[in-house]
Structure 1
């Protein structure tokens, strides 16, 4: 049917049977071929397990183990178990690039806290206005520092990798605004260390 030659089909089948016999000298099934019904039954798994409480416990344990691996990876920088947002060689380089510098963004939260404390204990209008001017000057300085850091990072990424993945510079900028000890994944380089 459909232009097949019966003899050619039989010849191909004989050749494949001979090649399997040559490959395995112990050729021989030793058991009857399972019926289609038996094969389908063997492949079936219930959508809802019979023992739901055991399945729930197993699921909770698997989730807990995955969370522990992710947490350990955030501490050690192990690429295999990092969350998707932190994976990749460019993001690793961006993290290291941010972590070797002293960024102005790290100190914004401290200055904001100092301003809140000053306005609570010294509600003098002139002092409050001066502290807010200082705060806004600090914000402008952080923005300028972030722009220059982003440009330098982009140049280094192009020199090292040939291209810049989307979102890497923004990822580094957001990391530079965090206090160093609270950054995740934790810094793997020291301040001032030379990057290759």
Structure 2
């Protein structure tokens, strides 16, 4: 009968109407109510399993584009449009890493003509990437303002430009549109 009374809410100003439980009984009731494991190892194991399932869901979402499990930086219709906008076009910036490796190898060869060519290639690649990025910046900003006039677009253009620097096959979330398709 005392267990039934202890679970009933009572008026804080009214007298209690039952004896105070012993500390050990109160702690036991609290532990049962929390339904947490009694030992630390079991708690750590449960947390690890929960993290694994969350990471697995996030990985699958990044591979398939499932909006529910995407990380916060990739969620929302604005970010989805930016991804599709960037993935639908050819960008010079996505070839930066392979070109950088080639230019680095050329610059390490001790032939002055090849080193000069490597320096000119560096300059050319950087100038082309900057010009391409400025063009994407303006086109993307214009498209975002037309399609999403009332939604917050903070950081969306920078998100798109960072996506252009990644090799298309390695982008996460995976590209959902082919080159040439319009989002």
2:55 aligns with one of 61, 67, 79: 67
Aligned residues: 163
2:72 aligns with one of 60, 78, 84: 84
How far is the alpha carbon of 1:33 from its aligned partner? 9.2
Match of 1:95 in 2: 83
Q: Distance in 2 between matches of 1:43 and 1:51?
A: 15
Match of 1:118 in 2: 106
Q: Distance in 2 between matches of 1:174 and 1:39?
A: 57
Match of 1:160 in 2: 147
1:1-196 to structure 2, matched below 5 A, reads: 34-35=4-5, 37-38=6-7, 49-120=37-108, 122-163=109-150, 165-195=153-183
1:64-93 per-position Cα deviation (integer Å, ceiling 9, x unaligned): 000000000000111100001111100000
How far is the alpha carbon of 1:182 from its aligned partner? 0.8
Q: Which has the larger radius of gyration?
A: 1
User: What SS class does the counterpart of residue 184 from structure 1 fall into?
Assistant: coil
Q: Distance in 2 between matches of 1:52 and 1:162?
A: 51
Asked if the contact 2:107/2:119 (under 8 Å) is kept, the reply is: no
TM-score by length of 2: 0.80
TM-score by length of 1: 0.75
Structure 1 residue runs of 5 or longer lacking an equivalent are 1-30
- Pairwise CA RMSD: 2.4
